[in-house]
Amino acid sequence: MSVIVKTERLRVEYPNRESRNGPKVALAGLDLQVNAGEVFGFLGPNGAGKTTTMNVLLGFVPPSSGTASLFGIDVRQPIARQRIGYLPENTYYYKFLTAEELLRFYARIFGLNGAEADKRIAELLKLVELEHAGKRQIKTYSKGMQQRVGLAQALINNPELLILDEPTSGLDPLGRMKVRQIIQRLKAEGKTVFFSSHELGEVETVCDRVAIVRQGELRVQGRVSDLVQQHNCDLEKIFLKIVGYEINALP
């Protein structure tokens, strides 16, 4: 099975201007591996290093040491991002554009033009159920619609790997269900999905494997079914145990 995402002893430090105790360590030697065709859940409490890991994988933040690669290519090379799609946690798009214009813009970046681009845009707008609103400016959309445009732009190049940063954050139950259905559909198509989420029930439903990080370190990595069997409890309890909560102390 080929490895799609790989990090080895990945360390990221940020300068700490507020303290004399040296730099702030966001990632402390993270080893991660995601295989082709997997839906991989990346979990951890706030500030654990999930977003930093994604930012390194996307080339936004350079690693202080260690390596990170996508499809075996160093993440610092723009070509490593040729076969990926990325959905940020919030909707960071050109809101003065219509959904069609936004998708056409991203299509051009991937070299899709003319009829080929039109066909792909129509398919994606249908997939995210926005075909009726494709000619409206994104600024007129609801949060759920904007998130779905985000998903469409992440799929414009028919990526082999999707990186989703809390894809269901802020969505209503219907919106969450739609995103979950799309992830499951992508999984059925053999795509690799790497996503972070705080919705542990959702992760348990859609993920093949998960990794839990805390304070920039990998605490556990494995198949969801194996972890559940090994700890004899559901993923939520495993998560709470690993991040340091006393289960008995919970109401």
Partner 1 sequence: MNTIFALAGVVIKDLYRRKDFYVLFVLTALLTLLAGSTTFFEDKRISGYLKELCLALIWLATLVIALTTAARQIPAERESRTIFPLLAKPVTRWQVVVGKFLGSWLAVGVAVITFYLFLGAVTAARDHSWPVAQYFQAAWLHWMMLGVVVAMAMLGSVLFSAPSVNVTISFIVVGGILMVGQHLHKVALRLTEPAQTLLTLLYFCIPHLEWAFNYRDLLLFEQPLISWGVMAGATGYWIAYMFAFLIAAWLVFRRKSLSVG
Q: Which residues bind partner 1 (CB under 8 A)?
A: 51-52, 55, 58-61, 78-79, 81-82, 84, 86, 88, 90, 92-97, 101, 105-106, 108-111, 113, 150, 153, 157, 163
Nearer to partner 1, 138 or 212 (CB): 138
Minimum CB separation of residue 14 from partner 1 in Å reads 9
Q: Shortest Cβ distance from residue 240 to partner 1 (Å)?
A: 24
- Rounded distance between C-alpha atoms, residue 224 and residue 208, angstroms: 6
Residue 55 or 69 having the CB closest to partner 1 = 55
13: amino acid identity, one letter: E
Query: What sign results for the dihedral spanned by CA atoms 27, 227, 170, 98?
Result: positive
In the complex with partner 1, which residue's Cβ is closer, 28 or 220?
28
Question: Closest distance between partner 1 and the C-beta of residue 84, in Å?
Answer: 7
> What is the number of other CB atoms lying within 10 angstroms of the CB of residue 228?
16
Cβ neighbors of 50 (< 8 A, separation 6 or more) are 42, 43, 44, 165, 196, 213
Residue reference for tokens 């507020």? 18
For residue 120, the minimal CB distance to partner 1 (Å) is 15
Closer CB to partner 1, 106 or 239, in the complex: 106
Residue 181 near residue 151 (C-beta atoms within 8 A): no
- Strands 84-87 and 73-74, how do they pair? unpaired
Output the smallest distance, CB 49 to partner 1, in A: 10
Residues 6+ apart with CB under 8 A from 11: 25, 27, 28, 29, 30, 63, 64, 65, 66
Least distance between partner 1 and beta carbon 28 (Å):
17
